[in-house]
Amino acid sequence: MQLKTIIAGIVSVLPLVARAARIMNLPYFPNYQIAPVTSFETDIEVPQGYDVSPATWMTIAFSSGTLSLLTESDTKRTVEFYMWDLGGNKTVEVVQLGENVVTPDSSPTKAVLNFGWESGVTYRMKIDTEYVENDTVFSASIKIRGQWHLIASIRGHNYGRYGLRENYPIYQYLSNQQSSPSQPACGIFSGQCYRLLNDDFCYPSWGVEINTSWGVLADGGANAGCWGYGVTKSGDGMFLSVGGSNTQSEYCNHNQNPWVDYDHCAINQFSKTING
């Protein structure tokens, strides 16, 4: 998908000088009863021409791990699932790797798929959990050309029944890691939905809070840039842009921590589709 097509459908574009921007998803739950969140899935697309390097599209992030697309260089692209220990006897261990997935010696709880993902292509990504005795097993997957591919399963020892919203909301994050981010990195995060314990229905996110508390560089210095966001033309997702240097443009207005609603008709249709 070309960027100009996306921009034409954006409801609001309200950027801030920054190096990184984060989407924090606040889902709607029936009757406000929040059982453990056992699964989260989402679409991610990097528009053509905005797949800068290095950059990270943190597609799913929670209090103990992340699932991301990365451009490590102009020629190397990866998918990474990474988890960390919670401390004490709560430790993590990779228990299964998908095809062509490796764990770096320097980071044994990181699973890396060397996959040349393409800009302009939508990928669906998810993390599922399974409770085994007093542990939680986290399994990350990516959907490529209609087929799910396991990245890895990582076991959280002594995690108990650990939900993906445990201690902190699930969020999505875009980071432009160029030393001087004059070229924007962009991402489209859409079709977010959650499953709860003992409930196979995938509850959609009805909107997002835009939060800039991480990685913000707002001093107006030589390395400062812009970031922007807006609801996509389809109405069921959010566009994020990080980088650029024209702070006088409409893409560098200042606006902190707004709540942005998705189009409810679009979300109703998405819910019907994802839940069959």
Does some domain include residue 2? no
Global pTM value: 0.87
Is the per-residue pLDDT at 15 higher than 80? no
Our count of domains for the chain comes to 1
Between the CA of residue 111 and those of 61, 78, 180, what are the distances in Å?
A: 15, 10, 29
92: confidence class by pLDDT, cuts 50, 70, 90: very high
Is residue 35 assigned to a domain? yes
- Alpha carbons 105 and 101: distance in angstroms, whole number: 13
Lowest model confidence (mean pLDDT) among 18-22, 199-203, 228-232: 18-22
Asked if residue 5 belongs to a domain, the reply is no
Does residue 119 belong to any structural domain of this protein? Answer: yes
Is 9 domain-assigned?
Answer: no
pLDDT digits (tens, 9 = 90+) for 18-60: 356 667 776 666 666 678 999 999 999 999 998 999 999 999 9
Query: 1 lies in a domain?
Result: no
At 30 the three-state DSSP class reads helix
Q: Which two tokens stand for residue 257?
A: 């921590």
**Structural domain of 59:** 14-275
Q: Bridge-partner residues for 65, per DSSP?
A: 62, 83
Tokens of 230: 């807006």
Q: How far is C-alpha 131 from the geometric centre of its chain's CA atoms?
A: 24
What is the DSSP pairing of strand 122-132 with strand 91-97? Answer: unpaired
For residue range 100-129, what is the model confidence (pLDDT) as tens digits? 999 998 888 999 999 999 999 999 999 999
Asked which of 85-89, 204-208, 219-223, 233-237 is least confident by mean pLDDT, the reply is: 219-223
The radius of gyration of the chain from alpha carbons, rounded to an integer in Å, stands at: 18
Nearest CA among 213, 83, 199 for reference residue 138: 83
Tokens found for residue 67:
């699932």
Please indicate, yes or no, if residue 162 is contained in any of the structural domains. Answer: yes
76 token code pair: 């190397």
Does any domain span residue 168? yes
**Whole-angstrom distance, CA of residue 231 vs CA of residue 118:** 22
CA–CA–CA angle 70, 116, 186 (5° rounding): 45
Alpha carbon distance 107, 154 (integer Å): 13
Checking DSSP bridges between strand 237-242 and strand 185-196, what pairing results, if any?
Answer: antiparallel
